[in-house]
Structure 1
Amino acid sequence: MTGDEDSTAAVLNRLRRAQGQLSGVIAMIEQGRDCKEVVTQLAAVSRALDRAGFKIVATGLRECATGDTSDAGKPMTEDELEKLFLALA
């Protein structure tokens, strides 16, 4: 991922938070915690990952769309952009 340092730091922070939450969910399952509590925490992990993905897309969309960082140096097609967004849906 390219972009400004603030955006990169924000994404990394969200991913680290999700990593910690996932560790917590694993521990909850190992401890035999209530299903409702586990599912609630798992949903929080999922939202954290979604937010990180959306932040990556929002930060890098201009670069992706203009081809500034693509391997071929060409702008992404509409189909490629659609697939990128749908990957997070």
Structure 2
Amino acid sequence: MSGKHETHGDIVKRLKRSNGHLRGVIEMIEQGRSCLDIAQQLHAVEKAISEAKKTLIRDHLDHCLEETVGPLPKAERRSIDEFKEITRYL
């Protein structure tokens, strides 16, 4: 089971952008910018990181869990499929 997946490149890009954005927010704080502007930008950083996390979790479930469990009859897959579906609400 490999630890690297197709989506990891996109996740890294998203996190690097978030890192740059966060550095910008720190500069905003140091410059004394308005709390509303800072809060909006922090929200954007938080959302980007959250989306990266969701993508990573879904990717893991789609690949690693499938590899571990292997092929199952449809009736036995129900719990796994429901679990994967509920992660959309993380």
Same fold? TM cut 0.5: yes
Q: Following the alignment from structure 2 to structure 1, what is the Cα–Cα distance between the partners of residues 22 and 54? A: 19
Structure-2 residue corresponding to 1:42: 42
- Could you tell me how far 1:57 is from its partner in structure 2? 1.0
Structure-2 residue corresponding to 1:63: 63
Any gaps of 5 or more consecutive residues in structure 2? 70-79
Number of residues paired by the alignment? 75
TM-score with structure 1 setting the length: 0.69
Contact 1:2–1:60 (CA<8 Å) still a contact in 2? no
Q: Following the alignment from structure 2 to structure 1, what is the Cα–Cα distance between the partners of residues 55 and 34? A: 32
- Larger RCO: Structure 1 or Structure 2 (Cα < 8 Å, ≥ 6 residues apart)? 2
**Pairs within 5 Å for 1:1-89:** 1-4=3-6, 7-66=7-66, 68=67, 89=90
- Could you tell me how far 1:2 is from its partner in structure 2? 2.0
Q: Following the alignment from structure 2 to structure 1, what is the Cα–Cα distance between the partners of residues 61 and 4? A: 11
Q: Calculate percent identity across the aligned residue pairs.
A: 32
Runs of 4+ with >6 A deviation: none
Report the structure, 1 or 2, having the larger helix content.
2
Q: Root-mean-square deviation (CA), in Å?
A: 2.4
